[in-house]
Amino acid sequence: MAKDLEIALLRAFVTAVRAGSISRAASGLGQTQPALSQQLRRLEGVVGRPLLHRSPSGVTPTRAGEELLPYAERILSLSAQALTETGRALTGHCGVGLLEDLAASRLSQALADLARLHPGATLEVLSLSGAAMREAYDTGRVQLVLDAVPDIPGPPRWTVRRPLTWAIGQEMDVATDPLPVVLFSSTCSWRTAVLEAMERAGRSWRVAFESNSLIGVLAAVRAGLGVAALMPENLEPAMARHDTAALPALPEVELGLVRHPPTQGDPLVDAVESALRRMI
Amino acid sequence: MAKDLEIALLRAFVTAVRAGSISRAASGLGQTQPALSQQLRRLEGVVGRPLLHRSPSGVTPTRAGEELLPYAERILSLSAQALTETGRALTGHCGVGLLEDLAASRLSQALADLARLHPGATLEVLSLSGAAMREAYDTGRVQLVLDAVPDIPGPPRWTVRRPLTWAIGQEMDVATDPLPVVLFSSTCSWRTAVLEAMERAGRSWRVAFESNSLIGVLAAVRAGLGVAALMPENLEPAMARHDTAALPALPEVELGLVRHPPTQGDPLVDAVESALRRMI
DNA sequence: GGGGTGCCATAATGAATCCTTATGGCGAAG
DNA sequence: CTTCGCCATAAGGATTCATTATGGCACCCC
């Protein structure tokens, strides 16, 4: 069997190329210059090709050396990651209650990434209506809830303000009177705020469609049944129209995260909360 | 400095996990069982955690072992790739003439991948009209041309048949008479074949739009100006309608590759031709 | 032109490593 | 109870690999 590459030799190689000198690389790695020289010769023996041009002014990589370099750097990076992360994965269970607008966003992806880093842990993301979410929280099924502040089942640990924007289907005439709107059927606090903004702007409206799911709302908007107030990241590209001056200005929504008190000190819940805080 | 992982130790680990036995792994690696046992202990020393459950019936990975396994496999894979590919990259230049339909397809991506594997080589992909492509081929600027057989500037080395399909914009009524069609303005041999198929089906038609670029054709179809006969992979999802029974059946197109004779034996051109053959 | 500096390569040496053989302990199967 | 197949350890010795010592080369400065 052919000899394996050696990570220590790859490290010597990468260090020498970066330093432009075997002597400086040796110094940096806490070894003697002849030791590095011999290691690099051994690496060239394994690869079967010269990897370095050597001269009294130092070393430069050969063409083969340039080809090996990205592999070497990748292997060193994976090796370091393997050492720091193996055996340090979190375990346990964490239930997260998210407003559906948020569940459809990249927050879910961030949580999926977190779950992938900690295969011993289970994350459960739930999008429930007000009463069901409150019950899930009170019974401990969800440990974190991120929702509009008036809708969360306890005092928020932190809050953040997010803008809303109008979602408008193609072929939709925004001057239509009364203005058809598409709404979430669940009672969310900003539905009221949006309708009040319409009233204040003197713009009459009618409910053209209601759905309890974001997909339903998006389908209705897409079909041109009306306009909807959504978070910007949930809009399909064709819905982000620019002729919204005819529509009332939308309020911001204040989101808050509530955490089930018994989870204090739980490292998994800590990690999930940090990820949500970072991504929101 | 902490010790580095060692690729040989990772290989021992992966082999033992897969075999479910240190003895069988040793045999597979051409070493003795105590040697493997010691190597795995050394690996556990470097990682700082037990990686294997050992029993008289063999070994199974611990939780940390399961976490390390994907890293180990990735490192082994990269290492093998580094050894086989370093110093074997091709150099030189190769010009490829492609029909624009093909240039827009994953063939270009395949050629980009090839170029990435051989940074010392340059690939040039050209989409030119009939006369310009012939001139580029005759002067040796392009060494390979992949196009419809009647349009290629020499006898094909190999040919392949590919289907066409109707691209239909939304809101487009396919029963419209005469049927508006969108065409490539360049003379391609299947434009004639498509129009002849229409005549044979007794379907009258009119040219609604012409463009010399696929993007222009797609934009016209998308805007509902007419239908176009394209390769299936170039259709946007919304254009792949199912009510094409009202439209004439489309002919297949026969593509062929012609190769500039002086490039015989050129390894880069060999590799490019192989890639095209594989991906078409 | 000579001396000094900094680079890389090789030789010799010896400590450390690591594979082998020999052997022991354990659990399961017959 | 015996046999088999597994893993672990001990001991020995061949091999490896880092060190020190030294040499050659190119370049720079005086």
Q: CATH no. for residue B171?
A: 3.40.190.10
Instruction: State the CATH number of the domain containing residue B16.
Output: 1.10.10.10
DSSP classification of residue A188: -
The strand pairing partners of A96, in sequence order, are A125, A144
- Residues A64 and A43 grouped into a single domain: yes
Q: What are phi and psi of A82, to 5 degrees?
A: -60, -40
Q: Name the residue among A169, A255, A146 with its Cα closest to residue A218.
A: A169
- Residues A113 and A153 grouped into a single domain: yes
Q: Which of A3, A6, A7 to probe by mutation at the B interface, max B CB count within 10 Å?
A: A7
- Residues A66 and A136 grouped into a single domain: no
Dihedral sign of CA atoms B22, B23, B24, B28 in order: positive
- Residues A46 and A97 grouped into a single domain: no
Q: Which of A46, A70, A85 is the last residue of a domain?
A: A85
In a domain, B150, yes or no: yes
pLDDT of A91: 74
Count of alpha carbons within 13 Å of B5, Cβ hemisphere only? 25
pLDDT of A186: 61
Nearest-angstrom CA–CA distance, A37 and A15: 12
pLDDT of A1: 39
Nearest-angstrom CA–CA distance, A214 and A103: 10
Most confident of A65-79, A116-130, A228-242, B9-23: B9-23
Most confident of A130-134, A258-262, B64-68, B149-153: B64-68
- Residues B270 and B228 grouped into a single domain: no
Q: Which two tokens stand for residue B70?
A: 């994907």
* CB contacts, 8 Å: A6 with chain B: 4, 6-8
DSSP classification of residue A175: T
* Residue in A closest to B47 by C-alpha: A83
In a domain, A22, yes or no: yes
Distance from residue B49's CA to nucleotide D3's C1', rounded to whole Å: 35
Q: What percent of chain A has pLDDT over 90?
A: 20
* CB contacts, 8 Å: A120 with chain B: 63
Smallest CA–C1' separation from B31, nucleotide: C19
Q: In what order do the strands lie in the sheet with A205-211?
A: A165-168, A227-230, A179-184, A205-211
- Residues A55 and A109 grouped into a single domain: no
- Of residues B67, B79, B89, nearest to A85 (C-beta): B67
In a domain, B226, yes or no: yes
Q: What are phi and psi of B46, to 5 degrees?
A: -65, -45
Q: Does the pLDDT value for residue A119 go beyond 70?
A: no
* Residue in B closest to A88 by C-alpha: B64
Subset of residues 242-271 in chain B with CB less than 7 angstroms from any atom in strand D: none
Q: Is the CB of A42 under 7 A from strand D?
A: yes
In a domain, A1, yes or no: no
Task: Compute the nearest-CA separation of B229 from chain A (Å).
Answer: 26
- Residues B269 and B213 grouped into a single domain: no
Q: Which residue has the higher pLDDT, A115 or A52?
A: A52
Q: Is the CB of B40 under 7 A from strand D?
A: yes
Pairing type for strands A58-61 and A52-55 reads: antiparallel
Q: Which two tokens stand for residue B179?
A: 């049927």
pLDDT per residue as tens, chain B (280 positions)? 457 899 999 999 999 999 999 999 999 998 999 999 999 999 999 998 899 999 988 999 998 999 899 889 989 988 988 888 787 777 777 888 887 777 666 676 667 667 666 766 777 777 777 777 888 888 888 889 888 888 888 888 888 888 888 888 877 788 888 888 887 766 566 778 888 888 888 888 887 777 766 767 777 787 777 888 888 877 777 777 766 777 888 888 888 899 888 787 788 888 888 888 877 7
- Which amino acid is located at B119 in the chain? P
- Residues B263 and B155 grouped into a single domain: yes
Q: Which of A85, A114, A143 is the last residue of a domain?
A: A85
Residue nearest to nucleotide D21 (CA to C1'): A34
Task: List CB-based contacts (under 7 A) with strand C.
Answer: A 16, 21-24, 33-34, 37-38, 40-41, 54-59; B 8, 31-32, 34-35, 38-39, 42, 55-57
- Residues B19 and B67 grouped into a single domain: yes
* Residue in B closest to A64 by C-alpha: B87
Q: Do B67 and A86 touch (CB under 8 A)?
A: yes
In a domain, A107, yes or no: yes
pLDDT of A205: 82
Most confident of A25-29, A160-164, B234-238: A25-29
Task: Domain count for chain B, please give it.
Answer: 3
Distance from residue B69's CA to nucleotide D12's C1', rounded to whole Å: 34
* CB contacts, 8 Å: A119 with chain B: 66-67
Beta-carbon contacts of residue A151 (< 8 Å; ≥ 6 apart):
A99, A130, A133, A188, A189
Summarize the confidence of residues A146-160 as an average pLDDT. 85
For residue A178, is the peptide bond before it cis, meaning its omega torsion is within 30 degrees of 0?
Answer: yes
In a domain, B2, yes or no: no
- Residues A190 and A243 grouped into a single domain: yes
Q: What are phi and psi of A117, to 5 degrees?
A: -70, -20
- Residues A12 and A71 grouped into a single domain: yes
Q: Which residue has the higher pLDDT, A13 or B203?
A: A13
Q: Which two tokens stand for residue B154?
A: 């020499």
Q: Which of B68, B85, B102 is the last residue of a domain?
A: B85
Q: Name the residue among A198, A154, A155, A156 with its Cα closest to residue A174.
A: A198
In a domain, A75, yes or no: yes
Summarize the confidence of residues A89-118 as an average pLDDT. 71
Distance from residue B57's CA to nucleotide C26's C1', rounded to whole Å: 10
Domain that holds residue A41: 7-85
In a domain, A2, yes or no: no
pLDDT of A60: 94
Task: Compute the nearest-CA separation of A44 from chain B (Å).
Answer: 11
The strand pairing partners of B205, in sequence order, are B179
- Residues B50 and B96 grouped into a single domain: no
pLDDT of B183: 78
Interface residues on B facing A, Cβ-Cβ cutoff 8 A: 1-2, 4-8, 11, 29-30, 46-49, 63-64, 66-68, 71-72, 74-75, 78-79, 81-83, 85-87, 89, 119-120
